[in-house]
Chain A
């Protein structure tokens, strides 16, 4: 399988009839119920919905971290049903950058080591050089040797973003990236995320409660009861489409 899938396919994410049902003591729980979604390459999508609507599960399915029980999942042209766990891991390393609400930096590694990790998994000889550059891009070149416990929340999130973007992924998934940050820091982080997205032309899927933030994306998709709406194009999306054409 070609690990490096650049913007070769018109559809970055294609989900058809996706069901995710999880076992529990009280019986199976349906999280996603026949969800359909299509995201074009280079598009930015905000996924909104109430708590428990399945937003995080959706992100996990797209990232290949959770298997759909039923339905078709195709990301960057790769049909997930044909990929085993290692294939999915390699796909993520080369093509998908993920930013989490709780940052999820490796606590036993320094900032530069955290950022270099996915590049090391790709056996890149220039892993640390690229990591250094990514950290500089998010304004944390001077914090290379700090451990996560020695960084503020905003700094940790910027390191997480540098880590997500260092391999120059085609797809960025962000799950409430500002959820643990104050308003000002959150705004700074989102400005950085969008600017990096624009610079790389990556596809962005953003899970958020913040409507203002959601409006910065091209399209807003609502999740309710395990299903998605077709998505409302935002004014930012309209402008972008007009510019593209």
Chain B
């Protein structure tokens, strides 16, 4: 009999899955051995991606589903200044049931002079075509606004003017009575940003106010409900659109329909979601590092078990299959947890913030988002798990015979390295494919990977520095530095796990501070205190006189103002123009227009030249240089705008650099006077008070103007700035929360990394105790180690966050960068708190380790 006779033949199939599954389950039966962190890291990372993606999809679905409600009809036709004439109205009526409304800003005043800026919406009896207006008080008010002279208002107006239901107000030249408190309006999302409380009234009441004047800034909106089955036909709105556009090519209507009710909001939300998704991707990658640490530590503990399997006849493939099955099962658990929480996020947000959201989110699961998140989770798991598994598959049986104190590690086979790399590339490709702005996504993704590598490098540098000073005195320092420098050091893990999240938070805090300082600085500088809208040109002199009579040192600036929409650029219809994302806003809706014979204050010509004082040639226009660049414009190009129902085409004579931050009167487009001087229009005036003017004096001035000119609307610049600041803070909070999730995952990764070294730490502590170290010395050494690492990573995060914030302030936001000592201190404290918190728990466990289990002879 030969040796070959004694060896049983191997089965033909490679993986022997059922046996691998049985062994995998038997091993897991004894507990996952520290793989809880593995599951949690995957779960949190997938949650971040799934939640963000689901929220974006929910919003899109809500827009699509509630399109009619948001538009207020199947299709809407909107323009500023001019009401539809009889012919236009007849054409609109032929499309279906039409509701007419007017939106404008006005002043609501009470006896005694107190006033407030309000957002007026005047509607006809057909409104609303879809949904219902909710009057919260009194409950049985019904459509009380239909009564002439009766209005319903948002509660904040009652608080602002200290009035109640039944009180009277003056709006324009009319006295109106408050009939109830306005709750939700169905088409609120489509309204522009409100600077004051909303007021609902009938068109008849609006007529009484005298606010409808030629050239006044009123938006006229005509909403149509298409008849019968056409209402459900997605192509029907286009038929109506083309019909009206063909009949009235220069009507100037901006047309939206229920299939895309708020295109600019949808785009902005999409952009925001994409940016936040990248933060989610960073969180997922960080979770992947935690996964890698956890599985690496788990497989290290399994080396002898694997060697035993192989001694007993298991092949490398079987070993790989066993542990791959375990990894897939646990990853699957994490992914399912992640997508369940992610899928529930829109419902959770709706439950907690329902009233504050502008629309009701579509809370059902969005499969595409969840599959993408699950796919990303799986690819991340493969990226970080394949190398440790690859090493495990080549563990030689001879490991059993060797000393435990040698630290050799097998190299994973090339196939595993290649597959891990392919998973990484696939993850990268998935992130780019799921994004609309692919170049930006690719750049930021590459940046995130570079950041991780930089953090790894920083951790390595810390180890080298610690090695340099390892013989420091006293002994606690020596022990701490030896632990940082030696094998099994957690320097790199701390750097990677916390560096990214802390860096994000620092950058966000500094950008926030810089933007807020910019707001403050501009307000303190020469920003006007008020804008006054809808002043009749013939009243301008009297307006100035009234202002100067109350405040002789007040500075007033004025400019004619109309509104119009760009309808074509170089003959290309506006909707087909390829604009840079930052410049799309110029084409999205109507813009303020003006004319001037001189270069406006706060502008500098950067290209071309201004027209002569008495210029009377073909229409010319001066264009904002930055917006022009985004639209790909050059000198001599033509811009066609629709103003008051007429298309006006002008050649670009020059480009201006505009200082928008000064808040002075500025317009994207300034026309040569001959273009618009004869069009009916009103005047915009800005008021700047001397610095020492207090609020009481300012209020007296505004009241005097309001009393004399009841049809003029006063907008306090401070209120606009506060509204902008408030919106900015909300956005920053959302971004901060995403960064906080990254930090949370980082803490989890750190906990996993420290847990993986716990056995070593306990053993070391026992050794130190055996050799004569007191508990106090051991505690000092442990806390010094964590404290030094925490300080180091705080310093790195501060530097990286500061550089990032500086670069973004300089090139993206174009504001002055302001460093904040408070943000720096908060970062350092947060880093120390996190690291020392984890360290304290680790140290407490280490101190309680008994010597015998570690020191007994075998």
B844 to chain A, nearest CB (A): 15
List 6 other contacts, CB 8 Å, given A60-B851, A60-B852, A89-B774. A56-B855, A65-B851, A89-B775, A90-B772, A107-B488, A121-B777
Instruction: Flag if A121 contacts B852 (CB, 8 Å).
Output: no
The 0/1 profile, CB within 8 Å of A marked 1, for residues 845-858 of chain B is: 00000111011111
Interface set, chain B 468-517, CB cutoff 8 A to A: 470-471, 473-475, 478, 482-483, 485-489
**CB nearest neighbor in B for A175:** B857
Contact of B485 among A92, A108, A148, A207 (CB under 8 A): A108
CA A232 to CA B406, docked complex, whole Å: 40
With most chain A CB atoms within 10 A of its CB, the pick from B483, B486, B768, B857 is B857
Contact of B403 with A180 in the complex, beta carbons under 8 Å: yes
CB atoms of B405 and A107 under 8 A apart: yes
The answer for the CA separation of A107 and B768 in the assembled complex, in Å, is 12
Bound Cα distance from A175 to B857, whole angstroms: 7
Interface centre among A92, A121, A128 (most CB of B within 10 A): A121
Report the nearest B residue to A180, measured CB to CB. Answer: B403
A188 proximal to B (CB < 8 A): no
Q: Is the CB of A89 within 8 A of B772?
A: yes
A101 to B769, CA, bound (A): 18
B774 and A90 contacting across the interface, CB-CB below 8 Å:
yes
A residues adjacent to B (C-beta < 8 A): 56-57, 60, 63, 65-66, 85-86, 89-94, 98, 100-109, 113, 117-118, 120-123, 128, 147-149, 153, 156, 163, 175-176, 179-180, 207
With contact pairs A86-B775, A117-B768 given, residues A153 and B487 touching in the complex (Cβ less than 8 Å): no
The residues of B that contact A163 with a CB separation of less than 8 Å are 771
Residues of B within 8 A of A207 (CB): 857
18 A-B residue pairs with CB within 8 Å: A60-B851, A66-B851, A92-B770, A93-B771, A93-B772, A98-B770, A102-B404, A104-B767, A104-B854, A106-B767, A107-B486, A108-B482, A108-B483, A108-B485, A113-B471, A118-B772, A121-B772, A128-B471
Given contacts A100-B857, A175-B857, contact A94 B852 (CB under 8 A): no
Assembled-state Cα–Cα distance A67/B236 (Å): 89
Contact with A along B563-607 (1 / 0, CB 8 A): 000000000000000000000000000000000000000000000
Question: Contact between B773 and A121 (Cβ–Cβ < 8 Å)?
Answer: yes
- Provide the B402-420 mask, 1 if CB < 8 A to any CB of A, else 0: 0111110000000000000
Which residues of chain B come closer than 8 Å to A180, judged between CB atoms? 403
> In the complex, are the beta carbons of A103 and B852 less than 8 A apart?
no
Give the Cβ gap from B306 to chain A, nearest Cβ, in Å: 21
Given contacts A60-B855, A149-B407, contact A123 B475 (CB under 8 A): yes
Residues of B within 8 A of A65 (CB): 769-770, 851-852, 855
**Residues in chain B near residue A153, CB distance under 8 A:** 403
When distances are taken between beta carbons in the complex, the residues of chain B under 8 Å from A118 are 771-772
Interface residue B764 (Cβ < 8 Å from any Cβ of A): yes
Given A89-B772, A113-B470, A122-B772, A100–B855 Cβ distance below 8 Å? yes
In the complex, whether B776 has a CB less than 8 A from a CB of chain A is yes
Partner of A66, one of B404, B486, B852: B852
Closest to A101 in B: B857
Asked if B857 contacts A57 (CB within 8 A), the reply is: no
CB-CB nearest 3 A-B residue pairs: A93-B772, A108-B486, A101-B857
What A residues does B404 contact at CB under 8 A?
A: 102
Q: Which residues of A contact B854 (CB under 8 A)?
A: 104
Query: What is the bound-complex CA distance between A37 and B767, given in angstroms?
Result: 26
- CB contacts (< 8 Å) of A156 on chain B: these are 405
